[in-house]
Amino acid sequence: MSRTFFLLVLAAFMLVSPTPVVGTVQAQGVPSFDAAGTDAAQAAAFLKTLQSAVSVCNRLKVASLVEFPLEAWASGRTITIRNESEFHAKYSQVFTPELKKSIAEARPDSLSANQQGVMFDNGRLWFRPVVERKSALKIVAINEPGTKQ
């Protein structure tokens, strides 16, 4: 009788206790990009493409990664770059050695995401899917260094 009672209590306890979530340990520390409308693989691929283009000063490729108009930090203030031709004219004002270094040092595991998009370096550079461009990831803001946006 006591053995049967023990088994019933054990079975009841197992039914009542929460089921462990498979993969919980793996999910910790991995940012979710769902709120930004993308996923970790796409964000990492975009970052790699951006880093490659900036490292070889491929202005045409970098421009293809931008959604215009673009609000960008340049020469100590925020400017609006309306189109690709303005972007080329102001490229060196925006892509300063400090910004290039920030881009080069960014790592996929340092990206953060929310409903505004994906960012790195405390919000220095933001990118997100642009529906009008078949949800391609595009740079949507380049902010003042050192300020969280």
Report the pLDDT averaged over residues 92-105: 97
**In this predicted model, what pLDDT tens digit does every residue of 65-91 receive, in sequence order?**
999 999 999 999 999 999 999 999 999
DSSP per position, the chain? -HHHHHHHHHHHHHHHSPPPPTTHHHHTT----GGGTS-HHHHHHHHHHHHHHHHTT-HHHHHHTEEEEEEEEETTEEEEE-SHHHHHHHHHHHS-HHHHHHHHH--GGG-EEETTEEEETTTTEEEEEEGGGTTEEEEEEEPPTT---
Q: Look at residue 133 in the predicted model and tell me its pLDDT.
A: 80
Report the pLDDT averaged over residues 34-57: 96
Fold topology of 2-142:
Nuclear Transport Factor 2; Chain: A, (3.10.450)
Taking the model in full, what pTM does it have?
0.77
Where are the chain's structural domains? 2-142
